[in-house]
Structure 1
Amino acid sequence: MNLIGKKVLVTGADGFIGSHLTEQLVRLGYDVRAFVLYNSFNSWGWLDQASTEIKEHVEVYTGDIRDPHGVKTAMQGCDIVLHLAALIAIPYSYHSPDTYVDTNIKGTLNILQAARELGVEKVVHTSTSEVYGTARFVPITEEHPLQGQSPYSATKIGADQLAMSFYQSFSMPISIIRPFNTYGPRQSARAIIPTVITQIACGKREIKLGALHPTRDFNYVADTVRGFISMAQSKASIGEVINIGSNYEISIGETVNLIAEVMGEKIDIVTDEARMRPVNSEVERLWADNTKAKKLLNWEPLYGNKEGFKKGLAETIAWFTNKDNLKNYKSDIYNL
C-alpha cells in the first residue's frame, strides 16, 4: 500500500516512539495528523522539540484516547491509523491498574469502533514483547503463549485480543505490530538504558538499579519506526501479529557495563529495592524471532547484533548527554 495521498493518524504522537514515527512520516512526504494528549500547558510532548519544518507539516489534534467522541473526531478523514497511545510503565501499573484498563483496553476499543464506523482502510495496533512474559522458548515467535505478568502486560494482551477480534468478526483490516524493547533518544528514564545514561551523565558513579540478570532484545527506535511504516504499507500484514526485534539477546547487567564502556566511565552498581519487580512479575528473558517481519515486511534491523547495539547506544548517549536534553530528566529520582 502506497501511503502517498493517504491521511495517516498517529495516536500517542507526543510520546517517545510516536514522535519519532511522526517526524519520519513527514520526512517521507506523508499527510500526517498527530493525536496528542490534551493538557492545560498546551504541550505536544516531544513534538514540541521537532523542527519548525516538521511542525509546519503536521496537523495536531489534542484529545484523550479514553474519549470515544474525541477519538472518532480525530479519525475523520483518515485512511490509516497507527495506534501507539498507551500507558506503558510497568511499575506504575502496579500502583494504578485501573488507568491501564481505561487507556490501553478501552482506548483501543475506541479506535476500533471508530475505524469500523468510518471505514478506515487500515489500523496498525501496537502490542509489546511484555505480553509474552518470561520466554518458554527462544527465540520467541509470534506463536509463543501470552502471559500477563503485570497489570500493564495484561491490559496489552486484552487490547491485542480486541484488535484481532475486530479482524475476525468484522473483517477489519488490522495489523498488530509487537516491538521488543525499543530504546533511543527521548525515552523515559523509567527504562533501563536512559536511567543508566542519565545517572552517569549527571556525575554519579554508583548507579542505582533493579534486577541485572534478566535478558532483553533491544531495538533501536529508528528500526522500530521503520517497522511501523513497513506494517502500514504491507497488505500481507493484515490479520497478522508481527514481532519487531533485533534477534540479539543481552542481559541487563551486560547492557549497563556496555553503556559505561561507550561513555568511558567506571561505575559501581547498587541494588535499589524500589526498582525491583515482584518476583513472579519479572520477565526473565526476552529474545525476538524476527523471521516473520523479514518475510512479510522485508524488514530487518539495521542496528542488530552487538555492534549494532553499540552503535545505537552511542547515538542515544550523544542525545542524552546534550545538556539541553539532559535537563529534562531527574536522574536522582526513581521514575515510575
Structure 2
Amino acid sequence: MSKYGKVLVTGADGFIGSHLTETLVRQGYDVRAFTLYNSFNTWGWLDECAEDVRGQFEVFAGDIRDAYGVREALKGCDAVLHLAALIAIPYSYHSPDTYVDTNIKGTLNVLQAARELKLSKVIHTSTSEVYGTARFVPITEEHPLTGQSPYSATKIGADQMAMSFYRSFETPVGIIRPFNTYGPRQSARAVIPTIITQIAAGQEKIKLGTIHPTRDFNYVADTVNGFIAMLESDKCIGEEINIGSNYEISIGDTAKIIGEVMNKNIEIVSDEIRLRPEKSEVERLWADNSKAKRLLQWQPEYAGLEGFRRGLGETIEWFTKPGALSKYKAGQYNV
C-alpha cells in the first residue's frame, strides 16, 4: 500500500502512462489520471484498460499547457508522476514551438503547482535522447547532455527546470530517465511497432530509416516498475536516474529478431522519408543502470537478448490479437 495519498499521473492516456496507471491501481494506489481534453471524451489507451482496473481510478481531462488546469488537477494530491509530453522526433522538426509549450512550459506548470500545493514527491520523466549519441558506454547519468533534435532539446530544458526547482525551492523532485521503452499499445511512430505492424499486415519488404544505430530497449513492465520504485524511494530526490536494460542492439538486428519471432522472412528497405538529418541521428544508446540498482533496488526483468526476445514475444502477441492491428496505419509512415 502506498505511503502517499492520491497520486496524479500526467500523460495517463499514453503508452507508458496507461500501463503505469493500471499497475498503480493494482498495487493499491489512489490514482487520478490526467488525460488530454478532447471533445470526443476519449481517454486514450485508458479507454481500453484491463477489466480489473476499469472504474478504479479518477480521470481529470485537461491540458498540461494550461497552468490553471494543472493546478486544479493537482489539488488534493500528495505526489505526481509527470509523463505528459510530445515525444515524436520527426514531428519536432517542423513543429518545435509545440514542444516548447508542452515539454518545457508543461513541466513548469507541474513544478509550480507542486511547489505551491506542497506535494511530497514529484517524479519528472526524462528520456535517453537527452544524451545524444553516446560519447562513452555504457551511459551513466554524468554523461553530457546534447540536444540533437528539437524534441531532445526541450526535454533537456524540462529536466533542467525540474532540477532548478529542487535546488532553488527544495521541491522534492526526482528525474527518471527511461531508455527506449517498447510493448503493447506503443505508437507506430516508434521503430518496434513499425516493424511488427508492417509484418503483421503481410508486408515482406519492411520500410525503415537508418538501421545501424543501436538502442537500449526496455520492456514497458520494467519501465513501469522503475517509475514505482522512484515513487516509493526517498533516495531519488534531487537525482537523475537511468532506467535501462544495459543491453545494446542495432535497429537492423532488432528487425531480424522480430522477423524470427513472427516466423516471417523479411527484407529491410531504406525509406528516405524516415531518415533523420545526419547530425540529428542518435547513433548509439546503451544504459548504465547501476545507479537505479543502487538507489532504487530496481533491475530489469527483461534483460539481455533472452529478455528482449521474451518482451518482443509479448508485444507481438498483443499487436496480432484480433482488432489490434486495425488501430494502426501499417502502410504509411507515422510521424
**Contact 1:18 1:84 survives alignment (8 Å):** yes
**Contact 1:127 1:176 survives alignment (8 Å):** yes
Query: Which residue is equivalent to 2:122?
Result: 123
Q: How is 1:121-270 mapped onto 2 (pairs within 5 angstroms)?
A: 121-270=120-269
**Contact 1:141 1:288 survives alignment (8 Å):** yes
What amino acid sits opposite 1:7 in the alignment? K
What amino acid sits opposite 1:293 in the alignment? A
Length, aligned pairs only: 335
Q: Cα 1:115–1:192, aligned 2, differ >3 Å: closer, same or farther?
A: same
**Contact 1:197 1:320 survives alignment (8 Å):** yes
Counterparts of 2:131 and 2:22 in 1: how far apart (Å)? 30
Deviation at 1:326, TM superposition (A): 1.0
Counterparts of 2:253 and 2:51 in 1: how far apart (Å)? 39
SS at match of 1:17: helix
**Contact 2:123 2:173 survives alignment (8 Å):** yes
Query: Which residue is equivalent to 1:282?
Result: 281
Counterparts of 2:54 and 2:157 in 1: how far apart (Å)? 34
SS at match of 2:327: coil
TM-score by length of 2: 0.99
SS at match of 2:165: helix
Tell me whether 48-57 or 72-81 shows the greater mean CA deviation.
48-57
Query: Which residue is equivalent to 2:39?
Result: 40
Deviation at 1:140, TM superposition (A): 0.1
Deviation at 1:4, TM superposition (A): 4.4
TM-score by length of 1: 0.99
Counterparts of 2:50 and 2:220 in 1: how far apart (Å)? 18
Counterparts of 2:89 and 2:31 in 1: how far apart (Å)? 30
Counterparts of 2:3 and 2:161 in 1: how far apart (Å)? 29
Q: How is 1:5-154 mapped onto 2 (pairs within 5 angstroms)?
A: 6-154=5-153
Counterparts of 2:85 and 2:103 in 1: how far apart (Å)? 5
Percent identity of equivalent pairs:
73
Query: Which residue is equivalent to 1:332?
Result: 331
**Contact 1:174 1:238 survives alignment (8 Å):** yes
What amino acid sits opposite 1:223 in the alignment? D
For 1:206-234, what per-residue CA distance to the aligned partner results, in whole angstroms no more than 9, with x for missing partners?
00000000000000000000000000000
SS at match of 1:10: strand
**Contact 1:4 1:29 survives alignment (8 Å):** no
What amino acid sits opposite 2:283 in the alignment? E
What amino acid sits opposite 1:135 in the alignment? A
Task: Specify every segment of 5 or more residues in structure 1 that has no aligned partner in the other structure, as ranges.
Answer: none
Deviation at 1:325, TM superposition (A): 1.1
Q: Cα 1:228–1:206, aligned 2, differ >3 Å: closer, same or farther?
A: same
Deviation at 1:323, TM superposition (A): 2.3
What amino acid sits opposite 1:218 in the alignment? F
SS at match of 1:54: coil
Deviation at 1:5, TM superposition (A): 5.2
CA RMSD after TM alignment: 0.7
What amino acid sits opposite 1:309 in the alignment? F
Counterparts of 1:269 and 1:142 in 2: how far apart (Å)? 34
Counterparts of 2:208 and 2:295 in 1: how far apart (Å)? 38
What amino acid sits opposite 1:243 in the alignment? N
Counterparts of 1:291 and 1:50 in 2: how far apart (Å)? 33
**Contact 1:4 1:31 survives alignment (8 Å):** no
For 1:172-224, what per-residue CA distance to the aligned partner results, in whole angstroms no more than 9, with x for missing partners?
10000000000000000000000000000000000000000000000000000
For 1:4-46, what per-residue CA distance to the aligned partner results, in whole angstroms no more than 9, with x for missing partners?
4521100000000000000000001110000000011100000
| Runs of 4+ that moved beyond 6 A | none
Counterparts of 2:93 and 2:197 in 1: how far apart (Å)? 25
